[in-house]
Structure 1
Amino acid sequence: MVTEDWLVERKIDFSRERQMLCEECEHRWMVDLDWIDRWNHGGETCPGCGTNCERERSARVTVDLTDAALTDEAVGSLHWYHTSTQQDWPTKAYDTVSELTAAVRRLMGGDERVAEWADRQRKRALHVGTYEAAIQNMLRRITDQDDRGRQFFLYRVHLTPTVVVRTDWLIDPSDFVGDVMLEDVCPSGVDVARYLNYHEDPGGLSLALGRDAIASVQQVAVPLTGTRHNDWVGRAAETLFAASDAVVATNGYLARVVRLPSPRANAGRELARELTERLPVNLRDQFASAASFDEGDDPEQWAMRVAGLFDLIDDPGRVIATLDRRPHRTI
């Protein structure tokens, strides 16, 4: 039986300040997310040496020196998170080959090359991180990987108590598609490697690990049903039902190549903006994309889904309370 008496839930704060470290002068300082946004657009400089974001050795977000995950002994006692469309993550035997069509197999070079590719997939590290990183990963997948409309699951991950942690931490070792080979970061005798995540919950530590490092998981389908924002849902659905779903016609040459969004799609964008502007600046673009209204969406279902996505960021306590009631699945 799994107990949680020794496990630690860290404070969830999407808006927390981040530490910056300048590679040019090694100056370290704390900033808020608005400062980072201005920095990325050339509006700020390093207080130590005056360099801006255009320099090759300019400042970047770095690990917070007070992060509990920096303590080797604490890593196994912290809650970690992952989002996936797999209902049984981490599955014992994820069959990547069966998802490939005959045409894709041919493009990959035939059965031998497919077998080599499948073997590499089996050697990939799993990834877990903070709650914030898991939610941002889901938003990224909805936006960039055509996962809109698929059911996501949030997993709370409990590590094996005897897990061996690699000394110190790494800069994000992922390749251009986000893969990490387990043997590259976890040599013999090591179960878990910490790395600085630049892309999801920037500045937070995530883990690359093998399946055997996980003791159990708890799971909840996200977004949750219900919301605290019923007034917004009701008003949004009413506005969308009243708006026309006809695509706006254009004249002349444009009529053959351009289809402008319908008034309903435009209304959906404006309604979503009301919630988007209440989020931390680094989440707004991804949230706006994930919350976009597609032609043919049911207005009420769309409004409930968008409010649910917003709640994952605005009201994480409800998600944590729901996970607290879920059983543990031993891995």
Structure 2
Amino acid sequence: MNYGNLRDRPVDFSSHGEWSLCPHCRYRRLVPHDELYGRAQDCPGCSLSVGPGKWQTGASDLILTSADVRWVCEVSWFHTSVHRVWPPAAAAAEDRAVHLGTYEAAIESMLYRMSAMAEHDQQFYLHRVEVPDISVDPAMHDDLGEALTGFVELNAVTSTGYQGLRYINEEEQKGSISLAVSPRAIRSVQSVAIPAPGLSAVVTARTTDCARRYDADRAAAESTLLPVDRENPLGRLDRLMGTTVSARRLRERDHRMWSAIGELFDGLSSIYVADVAPGLRERLEDAVRATLAVGPAAGSGIAEVYRRYAGLIVRSSEVLALVGAVPASRPTLFD
């Protein structure tokens, strides 16, 4: 789809493995997810053993790593942040560049920040960015360690005389190509609050069944306690150690509750995101857990929050249409 001069790339969250490089010979192969951190594998290129977690992230599309960088100016780029107006004023400092990526990478970054950076209570925004006149270094660069924060050192980007550089993203949508650019290179931005109302993943009969099963399991777990257990709640350490009969009952209740919530998330992920990378499924679950950290909730409530964020994945075309319909604005940081 097109909005003005921008072209959105097809969005595809599905993943059957990661394009990876042998650390010995740089042989490139698609490594299934269960082999990335399983037992050691012999590299087909050099026959040397590659241990679990030792495969290096390779580019998913080699064409995008060539010296021809014209495509960078022809497609839309994305970023997620807690700033309604982006880039924020902090980016006006001369020593800051900004991080841009695919739609998939931007959504995964938001999910990561919700749990790992305790931003689950913040309103996030999806920013669709146009950089049609940017000069891009034709060389590929290493992933930038501060990419998840959204800011990188400007000197690291412009020291070779260009306004932007490409690198293989090793954190979000692994293997995708991301950009670090000078804010001055951004011509326009379209922004929308996410998750968007009305664009949650749809309720299915299986969703309702999962929620009801969770409620029943939770009620069964609570029924194992006696009134004295509720009147004199023990600390977490006492429950873990099982120092008293009451503590052991509370510990068993907690284990059953953890099992119930785990089964609920397993069920929801099998309904909505079964074919995405395991890491993305985990980040989605962690983000929802962080949002619900205030206390226990009914299964339908947990499922509603899960569907809200899963909608960014399974209804991505509608999210793109929503942000694409927003009037583009020109950053005014440097006016």
Shorter-chain TM band: 0.7 to 0.9
State the match for 1:164 in structure 2: 135
2:203 is matched with which residue: 220, 227, 230? 230
One-letter amino acid of the counterpart of residue 141, structure 2? L
2:27 maps to a residue whose letter is H
* Structure 2 CA distance for aligned equivalents of residues 83 and 261 of structure 1: 36
Deviations 1:118-152 (A, max 9, x none): x7xx6232101011111111111122111122221
Contact 2:80–2:110 (Cα < 8 Å) also in 1: yes
| SS of 1:199 mapped into structure 2 | coil
Whether the 8 Å contact between 2:102 and 2:177 is mirrored in structure 1 is yes
**Partner in structure 2 of residue 60 of structure 1:** 56
Q: Which residue of 2 aligns with 1:314?
A: 314
List aligned pairs for 1:90-105, cutoff 5 A. Answer: 90-93=87-90
Q: Tell me, what secondary structure is at the counterpart of 1:25?
A: coil
Q: Residue 52 and residue 315 in structure 1: after superposition, are their counterparts in 2 closer, same or farther (change >3 A)?
A: farther
Q: How far apart are 1:24 and its partner, in Å?
A: 1.4
Paired amino acid for 2:7: V
In the TM superposition, 1:24-39 aligns within 5 A as 24-29=24-29, 31=30, 35-39=32-36
Contact 1:37 1:282 survives alignment (8 Å)? no
Change (3 A) 1:38 1:199: same
CA RMSD of aligned residues (A): 3.4
Report if the CA contact (8 A) 1:233-1:307 is conserved. no
Aligned residue number for residue 41 of structure 1: 38
Pick aligned residue for 1:270 from 256, 263, 267: 263
**Residue number among 69, 72, 75 corresponding to 2:72 in the alignment:** 75
Q: Does 1:8 align with 2:7?
A: yes
Deviation of the 1:162 alpha carbon: 1.7
Which residue pairs with 1:252 in the alignment?
243
> Residue 85 of structure 1 aligns with which residue?
82
Q: Counterparts of 1:215 and 1:170 in 2: how far apart (Å)?
A: 24
| Partners of 1:28 and 1:131 in 2: CA distance | 25
| Structure 1: tracts of 5 or more residues without a match | 96-118
Q: Deviations over 1:270-290 (max 9, x none)?
A: 222212241432322222222
What TM-score results when the alignment is normalised by the length of structure 2?
0.75
Deviation at 1:197, TM superposition (A): 0.9
Deviation at residue 5 of structure 1 after TM alignment: 4.2
| Within-5 A mapping of 1:95-244 | 123-159=95-131, 161-174=132-145, 180-187=152-159, 189-226=161-198, 227-231=200-204, 234-235=208-209, 243-244=218-219
Unaligned runs of 5+ residues in structure 2 are 230-238
1:163 to partner: Cα distance: 1.0
The whole-number CA distance in structure 2 between the counterparts of 1:88 and 1:138 is 16
Alpha-carbon spacing, 1:175–1:241, altered in 2? closer, same or farther (3 Å): closer
Q: Percent identity between the aligned chains?
A: 29
**Number of aligned residues:** 298
